[in-house]
Amino acid sequence: MRVRDRVEQSLVVVAHLPEGIPRFWLLDNNALETFVEDELQYGLQAAVEAKILTDVNGTSGIQTQAYATTVLATPRKGLTKLEIAGYAAGSLVLHPMDGKTWRWRGPPATSSNT
């Protein structure tokens, strides 16, 4: 087992504010209120995602695995590469388009779970 170094990280405030909107516009128009709320939520999610990707891309020691023969074989090869180096995967990231080529069907049916 390897000893991990302590990594000090700082918290970052992610604030997202639109241009000012008169309060009465929101009170008089429910659709506008919903639109502004959705826009604020989208902007916040985009900012948090950008921060996470920046942190991940700036992390040393990240392992990558080129595409193998199938979508399922590729992560398995990457996990094997980590295990050989003496590490366990903390997370596994796949491109959303890769998920379209296979679907999780759950464990095989047995008499106890059918």
Which tens digit of pLDDT belongs to each residue from 58-114?
Answer: 777 777 788 888 878 888 898 898 889 888 887 777 777 776 666 655 555 666 545
Q: Which ranges of 17-111 does DSSP label H, i.e. alpha helix? A: 23-28, 30-57, 73-84, 96-99
108 lies in a domain?
Answer: no
Range of the domain at 96: 63-103
Segment 34-56 shows an average pLDDT of 86
Together in a domain, 56 and 67: no
Domain count, the chain: 2
Predicted confidence (pLDDT) per residue in 31-42, tens digit: 888 888 888 888
pLDDT tops 70 at residue 12: yes
40 lies in a domain?
Answer: yes
- How far, in Å, CA of 86 to CA of 100, rounded? 31
Which of the four pLDDT bands, split at 50, 70 and 90, describes residue 5?
low
| 0.85 exceeded by pTM | no
110 lies in a domain?
Answer: no
113 lies in a domain?
Answer: no
Domain boundary among 60, 77, 94: 60
Together in a domain, 52 and 25: yes
112 lies in a domain?
Answer: no
Segment 22-37 shows an average pLDDT of 82
